[in-house]
Amino acid sequence: MWSCFEKDSGLQVGGGEEDYEIAIPLINSRISVTKIAGVSKGNTAIIVSPGGKISVLYKNNNVLSKTVASVFPPFPGLFPYILNDTLTRVKLPVDPSQLVKKAIFKDTKIIFYFESKETSDVRVTMRIPELTKNNIVFEREFILKYSNMSPMKLQTDQISVDGWTYKSETNTMTFQYGATLLSGKRIILDNAFMNFDILKFSYIEGYLGYFSFPLDGNIIDVGLFNQWQSGSFDFTDPKITISLDNTFGIPVRSKINKFELTSVTGKTLNLESPFVDSGIDYAYPGFNEIDMIKTTHFEFNKNNSNIQDIFNEKTKTLSYDINALVNPLQDTTIKGYVTDNSYFVVRVAVEVPLQGSVHQVIVADTLDINLDDFKKVKAAEFKTNISNDFPMDIKVQAYFLDENNKSILSLFKDDGLLIPAAPLNSNGTTSPGVIRSEIIDFDSVRFDKVRQSKRLAVVGQINTTGSDMKNPVWIYDNYGINLQVGAKLKLEL
């Protein structure tokens, strides 16, 4: 590139009576893999294999997650349970399809209310056989004090059952009380109630039912085709990946409600696969792996779906909606568990290994320029240096655009410059591309037209070497297109 001078200092020759020339840089840019792949900050990642092969991962920052509270919410104690006999069985407020065989209470308090018309103190012993702690059955003793008023009433303080373990085969808790007078006579209370503030557990074990709950949905933007204008792609192995971290100790299967891919032209296609219909079984921890994370990785690829066909329609977005199906086999003999730390985290992404072929694909980008300061230009030379590291032929044309992005003139003649593909080595990588330099002459009339331009639109037509046969090639992390544009201006004094 020519030597450059500050635009406002110029170079004067001949004592101020002759024309002078200045050289100015306009563009010095490298179009890398990240530029071509539409990589944007935050929701896109470049994956580089140990050998340098590139894959692009398009994801959504809003991962799908569910905690135990959203799947098994606490039960509020809205109404008291009537203990109408000395032995009363109370059903747990769980779904009839569930069988809770074991549970450990957390943040739960119970209250008892007793009433008696007797005219002496009454001793009440309350026992819950299904509730133990350190192998000791829950038992509490209370006294109704007679104070010459009838009936006697007692509402107990809140009693914490945190850490107490419940075991049953019938989803019931037995409340067994004994009421005796000072004389030793056993009686039945006139009224007895039990209530809890909230029924909450740190651990639940058993058959926890067959049901579905939403993991919700989202949209992933795929930037790979953002700069596409025309032509065809043939990526060899695009994928939709699902990764799930699971600490629920129960069988879970995905229920895919929607996987839709929309192209840059607005065409919408559905992902088709046997696994969309049957679902994906997720790994889950066993009873000896409580709170361990089990991770399942699954991918929809060209071997198990139509992803290759529909992705090469130039996918712009992926819309998805997924549910989780608990105990999909509905086998009541399968015991599972959840803890207060249990959760699902689901991540969905579009992964595109940059191996494939392209045929007459047009991409475009715009770069800011400013020539408006130069008003007395007699002639101009624009010089370009372009090199191409990609294993694809690229035909380049550049257009000067006005402030409304309307084309004023093209930089190169005809349909542009052909920048050949870099030589492909036997190992599948390319040698560095050879720099092609061009000088384009502009007279004063032509330069005056482009002087008002604000941007330079660079348009590239990409063609894989041998792409008529759709030969796939890999893209490596060190590939790029180097573009330099400068101008040498001859100005009048």
Q: Where are the domains of the chain?
A: 20-37+357-491, 44-69+210-353, 73-207
Instruction: Check residue 66 and give its pLDDT.
Output: 79
pTM for the structure as a whole: 0.68
Is the pLDDT reported for residue 136 higher than 90?
A: yes
The string of DSSP letters for 408-471 reads: EEESSSTT-EEEPPPPBPTTS-BPPPPPEEEEEEEEHHHHHHHTT--EEEEEEEEEETTGGGT-
| Per-residue pLDDT, 41 | 47
Residues 6+ apart with CB under 8 A from 329: 251
Which one, of 201, 204, 194, lies nearest residue 107 by Cα? 201
| Best-predicted range by mean pLDDT (61-75, 208-222, 226-240, 360-374) | 208-222
Instruction: Return the closest-CA partner of residue 315 out of 232, 220, 222, 218.
Output: 222
Q: Confidence class of residue 58 from pLDDT cuts 50, 70 and 90?
A: confident
Token pair for 6: 């500050």
Rounded to a whole number, what is the largest CA-CA distance in the chain?
131
- Window from 98-112, 178-192, 407-421 with minimum mean pLDDT: 407-421
User: What DSSP letter does each residue of 223-261 carry, written as one string?
Assistant: GGGTTEEEEEEEES--EEEEEEEE--BS-EEEEEEEEEE
**What does the pLDDT read at residue 10?**
37
Q: Is-same-fold flag (20-37+357-491; 44-69+210-353)?
A: yes
**Total H helices, total E strands in the chain:** 5, 38
CATH class for the region spanning 73-207: mainly beta
383 near 26, Cβ under 8 Å?
A: no
- As to burial, measured by CB atoms within 10 angstroms (0-12 exposed, 13-18 middle, 19+ buried), residue 179 is buried
**Whether residue 52 has pLDDT greater than 80:** no
For the segment 52-78, the average pLDDT, to the nearest whole number, is 75
Which single residue is written with the structure tokens 């009541």? Answer: 332
In this prediction, residues 291-318 reach a mean pLDDT of 89
- Facing residues of 226 across strands? none
Give the rounded distance of the alpha carbon of 89 from its chain centre. 47
**Listed range (16-20, 76-80, 190-194, 378-382) with the worst mean pLDDT:** 16-20
Assigned token pair, 169: 């085969």
d(CA 408, CA 457): 11
Q: Distances in Å between the alpha carbon of 231 and those of 59, 358, 392, 448?
A: 26, 8, 14, 34
Question: What fold, for 44-69+210-353?
Answer: Jelly Rolls (2.60.120)
Per-residue confidence (pLDDT) for residue 98, from 0 to 100: 92
Q: Are 206 and 98 in contact (CB under 8 A)?
A: yes
Q: Which of 486, 481, 463, 482 is nearest to 411 (CA)?
A: 486
Percent of the chain with pLDDT over 70: 84
Lowest mean pLDDT among 19-28, 29-38, 185-194, 319-328: 29-38
Tell me the per-residue pLDDT of 226-261, one tens digit each, with 9 for 90 and over.
Answer: 555 545 556 788 899 998 999 999 999 998 999 898
Q: Higher model confidence: residue 266 or residue 159?
A: 159
Asked if pLDDT for residue 56 goes beyond 80, the answer is no
Torsion sign (Cα): 322, 220, 275, 341: negative
pLDDT band of residue 332 (cuts 50, 70, 90) is very high
Q: CATH 2.60.120: does it fit domain 20-37+357-491? A: yes
- Among 247, 201, 177, smallest CA distance to 92 is for 201
Amino acid at 59: K
Query: Could you tell me the CA-to-CA distances from 420 to 82, 88, 307, 316, 428 in Å, in that order?
Result: 87, 88, 31, 29, 17
For 348, the token pair is: 């969905």
Joined together, the tokens standing for residue 381 give 């030379």
CB 254 within 8 A of CB 282: yes
| Separation in Å, CA 281 to CA 24, 196, 271, 344 | 63, 37, 18, 13
Percent of the chain with pLDDT over 90: 45
d(CA 158, CA 136): 20
